[in-house]
């Protein structure tokens, strides 16, 4: 299936943009191109786990890599994010990814990548008032490392990474900001839990 991520006649490895009635907008980047599905917005994605809009309205996704190479990508119209031709990491069994390099002309680089991986899950930009110091941070759940990851960004680049709740030892599946400014997390365990993160009173 890997080659399909680079083929415009397949939805595999793509971000799609559609209207509420399921039709493809005519200003999509590949609309009207022969043998291209008109709803494709970007291509070359491996395994998107979550998507979030930042406070400026830009669209970001986090993706699982192989053994190394989980990615944070800023999604831009018509761009190619590389998989499987451009990738960080290696195969699960330890060999290089056949035909892949970490950079090629014409392909987008991730804005950030993890190696070793964290197995990212849900993602949420924080815009609330409960934690002013966290405003603008991107929170990402981690399945493999069993924690909540906070990324700080400046000029579209990650400038810091903080790991939270690692002492709980639970896979974090999703994170969302509530209307009260608190963060709400769900875990991915045999007995799932819902956590609320709020300031101490």
Domain containing 125 — which CATH number? Answer: 2.40.10
Same domain as 149, residue 107: no
Is residue 10 one of the residues assigned to a domain?
yes
**Same domain? 100 vs 2:** yes
Q: Tell me, yes or no, whether 60 lies in a domain.
A: no
199 domain residue, yes or no? yes
Q: Is residue 55 part of a domain?
A: no
Question: Mind listing the pLDDT tens digit for each residue in 5-59?
Answer: 999 999 999 999 999 999 999 999 999 999 999 999 999 999 999 999 999 999 9
State how far the alpha carbon of 190 is from the alpha carbons of 87, 170, 171, 187, in Å.
33, 10, 10, 9
Length of the chain, please?
201
For the stretch 75-93, pLDDT in tens is: 999 999 999 999 999 999 9
- Which pTM value belongs to this model? 0.95
């Amino acid at each position: 299936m890997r080659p399909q991520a680079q083929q415009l006649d397949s939805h595999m490895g793509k971000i799609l943009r559609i209207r509420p009635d399921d039709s493809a907008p005519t200003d999509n980047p590949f609309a009207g191109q022969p043998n291209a599905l008109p709803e494709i917005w970007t291509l070359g994605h491996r395994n998107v786990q979550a998507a979030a809009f930042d406070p400026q309205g830009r669209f970001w996704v986090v993706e699982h890599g192989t053994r190394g190479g989980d990615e944070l990508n800023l999604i831009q119209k018509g761009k190619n994010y590389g998989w499987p031709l451009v990738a960080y990491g290696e195969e699960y069994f330890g060999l290089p990814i056949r035909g892949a390099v970490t950079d090629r002309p014409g392909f987008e680089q991730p804005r950030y990548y993890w190696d070793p991986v964290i197995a990212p899950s849900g993602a949420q930009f924080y815009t609330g008032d409960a934690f002013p110091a966290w405003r603008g941070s991107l929170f990402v759940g981690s399945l493999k490392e069993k924690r909540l990851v906070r990324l700080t960004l400046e000029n579209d680049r990650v400038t810091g990474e903080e790991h939270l709740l690692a002492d709980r030892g639970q896979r974090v599946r999703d994170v969302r900001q509530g209307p009260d400014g608190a963060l709400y997390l769900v875990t991915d365990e045999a007995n799932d839990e819902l956590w609320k993160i709020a300031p101490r009173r």
